[in-house]
Structure 1
């Protein structure tokens, strides 16, 4: 499927069928195509053409999707920009991507960040011009430049071409068993590849529709579910934690939901069970990364879902577990997770050495540590860079985090290694209480003593109001390590 012409195809097949909506209104397939044609004409009028990069610094809204397709219609590339970035960070992304145009929420056209021309989204043409650009079909053309969150260094531009996003969306339609009757509720940010691929491109490819929500708000989330009747949505563990911790009198009608997808960070098995038992909505935990166009594994929609695992490979992808020498490990033996498939990125923009280190003979080296069982279900035990080495013993934080998250007073846990003169590193845990509860660190210490070997037990448990997160909702362990020496004294 060529995504540049997907709006045309949908309009031909079902012109009056629903396509996308947000808080301001909804568009049918024919209306979406008209808006895409108008936006493409506007971009072309501004000099955008094949190979150019258009930066979208927008919140979740219909215009983001319109501009996505309009840009591809011209053979150009989209780089989403997190609206929360500082001016310095925005200028860095614009410069690195060589963006020709920056689309923003408000303001007026003219010189923008870093000297890049700026277009206010409310000035975007809504009616087609005399020229209607014909969709350019080129599977090798760059579709998306997704910048990594930067928790392991300066953000890098992940180059995803049209072949990548096409393959990933096709895999998603199969794995999620999507059809025209489905309605996806988008609550994750559109500046992240998950929001674009899983919650927009995949359902639209399946003939389904998309409901774009604004910023996630636990007070109104289930009102949206009851009024819009989505059949699925995708979220991160933090969101499911917050929803699972809502007051007991919150009893929404979730009968429209076939499932929820849980990804971006590992979730404690107890959370998945607790959410499903309370709301009657199965959670499918999956795993992936931007370099793999978002998703690599998923617990099956129809088939055994194994709590504690992130499921099996998407159709068309391969997974291996290897040691530091590249030797494949057997079932149950941990090692680095490597992935191969048509979804693997083209590389990092302008960083051939980094690309060569990460993509070797077509295999994407994820830096994540895990093991496969005999049926191909993947269990993650941590990031290789997060691994703690205490006195020569390897410790994977997720095992400890899962134990701590099993306590009824703990909303979320994050475990880091802290330098120690005697052991090299020791284990330190950060915990966030559930609303209206108090964490007893002595009880948590006793819990760890019952469930963990001595060397894995935290030497310090720090209770915080909120655990630091990065822009896409992942726990920011780099921040925790940086601030630990000053915060630990309070524990």
Structure 2
């Protein structure tokens, strides 16, 4: 399947069937096709063509999906932009991706490329526009994720990746045309695009794009739009599980929910399922693998505390540092292989070669397999912090902190938090003879970092602990109990 023609196929098969909704109004399959044709013609008229990159800095809304299909129809690539990024971070992504156009829905700061407001997107096609492109090797998505160096990298996912991943998801989740997704995760994440939008649309189902998640109104939305599934992160399930006992919603439409992006405790999964009456399927994946690598099955044994078994069509191994498979139950590096593995990092051949070896994607995570092939994750070889499903890499924050003249060195770690999973905590060492102004340091973070990346607490130490080779010892920092700190 090529997603440039999915709207055409749906319109031909079921013209008046529901496709996309904002929770208030539906786009039928025919209306979706017309909107896609109109937007594609408009993009084409602006000089956007095959291989060009269109950046979407949009909140969750139907226009995001329309523009996805419109760009793919004319052979263009889409790079989703987190609306919470600072102007500096946005420009960095636009420059790295060589974007030709930025579409926004708010009062965005001036960008380094031409900008189009979403309200100016055409709704009615003047003509059918160019014939839909069908090259499976064309790059469909550029998903930006930070690396261990702190520099964001563009994950290149082609149409063959999307085709493979959504086929795997359709099979593993037993999805049919009767399914309806409730999208609550951000569309700048590959999870939101692949699991909550493309997979149900591929299966002939429909998608409701919800307003920003609010635990107090979430179940009212469930009762109103009657989804059969949704995907979320453990933080959301923790918030819902903590609602007052008198909250007893009608969840009879929901077949299952997917839990991913960060580890969830077996206790949380059991507590949630027992209360609300539908299963949580914990899964695991990463952008470089087009979202998903393992998941607990809809039908069959679900093992709480594991992230399930590989999606059909994928292989998974656990390797020792020498690249040899370890024995069952032993911890090692998790590697995966399949047609869902990315094409590589944009413009970063060395980084690509470091993580894709003989077709196997080195995930950077550590885990083990049980006798039934279920994967348990025990840690991350990278230092990534996951706050509420958002991936945060310490190096980027450390570089910002170290840019303050009074700071000699900085170290950032993740600290467990019952709500967010992890929060960011920073340690800084002053330069000799200098005094660190914490308020000034916080202001610097606010200027250079998105809100979710900013340290919750900044501690000033006379000296940061070092290991035998002179590197900052973060293990020692994690074991340190600080009597005081500056909340950010």
Fold match (TM-score > 0.5): yes
The CA distance in 1 between the partners of 2:419 and 2:70, in whole Å, is 45
The CA distance in 1 between the partners of 2:129 and 2:147, in whole Å, is 39
Pairwise CA distance, 1:430: 3.9
Per-residue CA shift, 1:416-464, capped at 9, x if unaligned? 9xxxxxxxx9x99544479xxxxxxxxxxxxxxxxxxxxxxxxxxxxxx
2:357 aligned residue:
360
- Of 211, 217, 228, 2:214 maps to 217
The CA distance in 2 between the partners of 1:60 and 1:263, in whole Å, is 19
1:490 aligned residue:
484
Q: How does 1:83-162 map to 2 (within 5 A)?
A: 83-106=83-106, 112-114=110-112, 116-149=113-146, 153-162=150-159
- Of 232, 238, 245, 2:235 maps to 238
Mapped contact 1:59–1:214 kept (Cα < 8 A) = no
The CA distance in 1 between the partners of 2:366 and 2:272, in whole Å, is 26
- Of 292, 300, 303, 1:303 maps to 300
The CA distance in 2 between the partners of 1:29 and 1:97, in whole Å, is 31
The CA distance in 2 between the partners of 1:232 and 1:82, in whole Å, is 24
2:425 aligned residue:
none
Structure 1: 5+ residue stretches without partners: 388-396, 399-413, 417-424, 435-469
The CA distance in 1 between the partners of 2:319 and 2:418, in whole Å, is 34
Q: How does 1:15-26 map to 2 (within 5 A)?
A: 15-23=15-23, 25-26=25-26
How has the CA–CA distance of structure 1 residues 151 and 267 changed in structure 2, closer, same or farther, with 3 Å as cutoff? farther
The CA distance in 1 between the partners of 2:187 and 2:26, in whole Å, is 18
Mapped contact 2:78–2:141 kept (Cα < 8 A) = yes
Mapped contact 1:149–1:471 kept (Cα < 8 A) = no
Pairwise CA distance, 1:385: 2.7
The CA distance in 2 between the partners of 1:484 and 1:379, in whole Å, is 34
Q: Secondary structure at the match of 1:42?
A: helix
CA RMSD of aligned residues (A): 2.6
The CA distance in 1 between the partners of 2:132 and 2:121, in whole Å, is 19
Pairwise CA distance, 1:217: 0.7
The CA distance in 1 between the partners of 2:289 and 2:419, in whole Å, is 34
How has the CA–CA distance of structure 1 residues 142 and 45 changed in structure 2, closer, same or farther, with 3 Å as cutoff? same
Does residue 335 (structure 1) correspond to residue 329 (structure 2)? The answer is: no
Mapped contact 1:145–1:158 kept (Cα < 8 A) = yes
| 19-28 or 99-108: bigger deviation | 99-108
When normalised by structure 1's length, the TM-score is 0.80
Pairwise CA distance, 1:133: 1.9
Q: Secondary structure at the match of 1:338?
A: strand
Pairwise CA distance, 1:130: 2.8
The CA distance in 1 between the partners of 2:341 and 2:415, in whole Å, is 34
Q: Secondary structure at the match of 1:488?
A: coil
Pairwise CA distance, 1:77: 0.1
Pairwise CA distance, 1:330: 1.5
The CA distance in 2 between the partners of 1:152 and 1:258, in whole Å, is 41
Does residue 313 (structure 1) correspond to residue 288 (structure 2)? The answer is: no
2:75 aligned residue:
75
Does residue 29 (structure 1) correspond to residue 29 (structure 2)? The answer is: yes
Mapped contact 1:189–1:472 kept (Cα < 8 A) = no
- Of 235, 254, 257, 2:251 maps to 254
Per-residue CA shift, 1:40-83, capped at 9, x if unaligned? 00100111000000000000000000000000000000000000
Mapped contact 2:23–2:225 kept (Cα < 8 A) = no
Q: Secondary structure at the match of 1:345?
A: coil
Q: Secondary structure at the match of 1:211?
A: strand
The CA distance in 2 between the partners of 1:230 and 1:346, in whole Å, is 33
Q: Secondary structure at the match of 2:198?
A: helix
Per-residue CA shift, 1:93-132, capped at 9, x if unaligned? 0000000000000469xx9401x01110000000002352
The CA distance in 1 between the partners of 2:451 and 2:128, in whole Å, is 38
Q: Kindly report structure 1 stretches of 4+ aligned residues shifted beyond 6 Å.
A: 470-473
Per-residue CA shift, 1:180-217, capped at 9, x if unaligned? 10000000000000000000000000000000012111
The CA distance in 1 between the partners of 2:298 and 2:414, in whole Å, is 37
Q: Secondary structure at the match of 1:3?
A: coil
How has the CA–CA distance of structure 1 residues 187 and 195 changed in structure 2, closer, same or farther, with 3 Å as cutoff? same
1:173 aligned residue:
170
The CA distance in 1 between the partners of 2:28 and 2:414, in whole Å, is 52
